[in-house]
Each structure stands twice: as C-alpha cells, then as structure tokens.
Chains A and B, each alone.
Chain A
Amino acid sequence: RKEVEQDPGPFNVPEGATVAFNCTYSNSASQSFFWYRQDCRKEPKLLMSVYSSGNEDGRFTAQLNRASQYISLLIRDSKLSDSATYLCVVTFYGGSQGNLIFGKGTKLSVKP
C-alpha cells in the first residue's frame, strides 16, 4: 500500500542553498497535510501544516496541489541546523485510516 511517497534522498546541499522536497499521495479524499522534521534518533516534530493556499514560515514555504495530489516544501538559505529527515504526512478521515499516514521521509544534509 503506497499512500504517501517521498524521495528518500539524501539531498546533500551547501549552506545557503535552496532545496525543495515533493511528496505525492494516492488518496484523493485526503484532508489535512503536514510536514514534520525528525532528527536522528529523536521524535518527529511538527514543522508546518500545509494549507490549500500555501503558507510560509520564515525560510520555509509549503504548497499543496490537490489536482496533482502532491505537497512540497521549499527551504531557502539552508542552515547546517536544517540537516534532518523531513516527513510528509497526510490525513485520511474515517476508521483506522483517519489517522496520519507518514511518508518514509527525505533526508537532508546541509554541508559547510
């Protein structure tokens, strides 16, 4: 069952670079969308929710394309501290699938 797919990476970029991740989802009834960040051997932490109109939080921009069923995350001016795995998360409502479905994550490594 491939409901949420991400490029596993790793994406190796220099400091200051702009990097973009995409994530596709298979269920057109998907309702809510999120990006989480997970550092090595730590718990996932909510980075941002993704709204239909797109949203921005500092250097991070998230966009949703319902017609093509994908969401994206753009990171501008990458910092060393951005190195982590970024998880795409989608919610389908109803039953056990009403919970968040996690992608396997895209690993980002920002180099000096």
Chain B
Amino acid sequence: DGGITQSPKYLFRKEGQNVTLSCEQNLNHDAMYWYRQDPGQGLRLIYYSQIVNDFQKGDIAEGYSVSREKKESFPLTVTSAQKNPTAFYLCASSIFGPATTGYNEQYFGPGTRLTVT
C-alpha cells in the first residue's frame, strides 16, 4: 500500500533534549513537508524539501532542523532551542514541489504528538 508513515504516534521528552520525528513515503513524491498544529490553530509550515539534498525554511523553522538524504525520508529534529515544542507534528508529501504550477495536492501522514515536560 502506498502512503506516508510517521513514527512514533506519541512521543514524550524532557525539556532540553533533542528529539527526531520520522517521516517516510513510498508514493515516489518529490516534495515533502513538515507542519506543526497547535490546538485551535491552523497548520504552520516548518520546513519543506522539493528534492533530495535540498530543503527550505518555512514560516516557523527556528528550533528545528531537517535532512533529505533519500527521496523517501524527511526526518525532523526538534532541538532544545525550540521554545514551545509540545504540538501535533504532521508530515506531508506532494508529487511536485511548490515551484511547479498547477494543482499539487499534499497528502498527510498520521502525525506525531510530541509532549515535552
């Protein structure tokens, strides 16, 4: 089955620790994205990648880092520099990146709920 997987579903960490969230897709999509969603808020873009070994900051990249060494994988590290890391993190992918015009729907993984205490 094609799709996007994220692991783990729930993650608990102590303040001051870095944590890495996994995102894998087997849809052969070029572009991948990381969003954050807080209660009652819309999705906010953290980072995106249009192609392997390339990624761009979104609106709220501070305190986060990513890598894109393989087309299928786009892990997100939440560093200790992120002031309010507790949130619902969503990974998505699309066939093409945002530089391509036309309808380019994004498909989401099931998300990871991170709680930092």
Q: Which of A45-63 contact B (CB under 8 A)?
A: 45-46, 49
A32 at the interface (CB under 8 A from B): yes
- Residue in contact with B90 in the complex, picked from A43, A103, A105, CB distance below 8 Å: A43
The answer to whether A43 and B111 touch (CB under 8 A), given A96-B59, A99-B33, A99-B58, is yes
Question: Measured between alpha carbons, how far is A87 from B41 in the docked complex, in Å?
Answer: 11
- B98 contacts A43, C-beta separation under 8 Å: no
Q: Determine the main DSSP class of B at the interface with A.
A: loop
Chain A residue, CB-CB nearest to B6:
A43
- Residue in contact with A96 in the complex, picked from B41, B58, B88, B105, CB distance below 8 Å: B58
Per the CB 8 Å criterion, the residue count for chain B at the interface is 28
- B45 contacts A99, C-beta separation under 8 Å: yes
Contact sample, A vs B, 10 pairs, CB 8 Å cutoff: A32-B102, A32-B103, A41-B88, A43-B108, A43-B110, A49-B105, A96-B57, A99-B98, A103-B42, A105-B42
Where the two chains meet, the residues of A that have a C-beta atom closer than 8 Å to any C-beta of B are 4, 31-32, 34, 41-46, 49, 87, 91, 93-94, 96, 98-100, 102-105
A sample of 4 more A-B contacts (CB under 8 A), given A43-B110, A96-B45, A99-B45, is: A31-B102, A46-B107, A49-B105, A91-B104
